[in-house]
């Protein structure tokens, strides 16, 4: 079985959804033969790399809500994350352009260590306030996750893997994704959003071969 996951490193529900999926996978009998592939998706390709807006600012602007309401939304999100073992610090998080982060993640795919880099990037953003458009920050996080520093520097110095990021996003749209996280199981079943662990487990088990006499 192959499971493809489209997500953005600054999407809170992507991190929560990944944790729930991981829990489901750990309960799945066929987990050792399951292939998980992460795909790129930018929440806002036009976002500035130098913005100092907070998550509350972005929510308030995007959904036309007061800052007090946005704060409560963040508090609820953090509570849900905590239920999955994630210690969100959304007060530290700074929304930004994530193209460079995704280009590094594409490199990590080629080097076969993307899950570790994906996790480190998400933890850096949501739990440590890492600025995910800053080259030095990306380099530090990527190397901490096991990516070769020289490889990462070369990617950050140019435009390598931009096409792969765009192709991932185009493919998500063609498959019907309206947002992320977006999970596709064997190109036959889709799950949108950070659904409960039980639903992910159902999606995994739906692809199991039927027992025959």
**Residue 192: pLDDT over 70:** yes
Helix axes 197-205, 12-26, angle to 10 degrees: 50
**55: number of Cβ within 10 Å:** 22
Which of these, 173, 191, 171, lies nearest to 181 by C-alpha position? 191
Burial string for 73-111 (b: 16+ CB within 10 Å, else e) reads bbeebbeebeebebebebeebbbbbbbbbbbbbbbbbee
pLDDT at 50: 83
**Residue 35: pLDDT over 70:** yes
Which of these, 131, 117, 105, 139, lies nearest to 53 by C-alpha position? 131
Q: Identify the band that residue 209 occupies on the pLDDT scale cut at 50, 70 and 90.
A: low
pLDDT at 51: 75
Q: Identify the band that residue 213 occupies on the pLDDT scale cut at 50, 70 and 90.
A: very low
Q: Identify the band that residue 210 occupies on the pLDDT scale cut at 50, 70 and 90.
A: very low
pLDDT 10s digits, 127-170:
999 999 999 999 999 999 999 999 999 999 999 999 999 999 99
11's enclosing H/E stretch is none
Considering only the C-alpha atoms of the chain, give the largest distance between any 2 of them, rounded to a whole number of Å.
63
Q: What 3-state class would DSSP assign to 154?
A: helix
Asked if residue 11 lies in contact with residue 96, where contact means CB atoms within 8 angstroms, the answer is no
pLDDT at 212: 33
Two tokens at 76? 């609820």
> Long-range contact list for 50-56, CB < 8 A, 24+ apart?
50/96, 50/133, 51/94, 51/95, 51/96, 52/94, 53/94, 53/95, 54/91, 54/93, 54/94, 54/95, 55/90, 55/93, 55/94, 55/95, 56/90
Which of these, 112, 123, 99, 116, lies nearest to 48 by C-alpha position? 99
**Residue 211: pLDDT over 50:** no
pLDDT 10s digits, 106-130:
999 999 999 999 999 999 999 999 9
Domains of the chain: 2-205 (3.40.30.10)
- The answer to whether the Cα torsion of 83, 53, 102, 43 is positive or negative is positive
Two tokens at 116? 């570790």
What single-letter DSSP state applies at residue 186? T
């Amino acid at each position: 079985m192959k499971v493809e996951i489209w997500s953005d490193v600054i999407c809170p529900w992507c991190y929560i959804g990944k944790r729930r999926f991981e829990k489901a996978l750990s309960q799945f009998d066929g987990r050792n033969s399951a292939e998980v592939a992460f795909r790129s998706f930018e929440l806002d390709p036009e976002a500035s790399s130098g913005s100092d807006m907070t998550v509350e600012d972005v929510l308030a602007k995007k959904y036309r809500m007061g800052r007090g309401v946005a704060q409560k939304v963040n508090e609820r999100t953090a509570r849900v994350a905590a239920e999955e073992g994630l210690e969100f610090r959304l007060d530290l998080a700074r929304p930004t352009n994530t193209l460079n982060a995704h280009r590094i993640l594409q490199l990590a795919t080629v080097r076969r260590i993307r899950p570790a880099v994906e996790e480190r990037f998400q933890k850096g953003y949501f739990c440590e306030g890492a600025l995910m458009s800053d080259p030095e920050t990306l380099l530090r996080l990527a190397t901490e996750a096991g990516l070769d520093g020289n490889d990462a520097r070369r990617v950050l110095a140019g435009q390598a893997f931009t096409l792969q990021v765009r192709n991932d996003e185009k493919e998500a749209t063609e498959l019907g994704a309206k947002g992320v996280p977006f999970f596709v199981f064997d190109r036959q079943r889709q799950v949108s959003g950070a659904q409960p662990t039980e639903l992910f487990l159902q999606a995994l088990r739906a692809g199991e071969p039927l027992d025959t006499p």
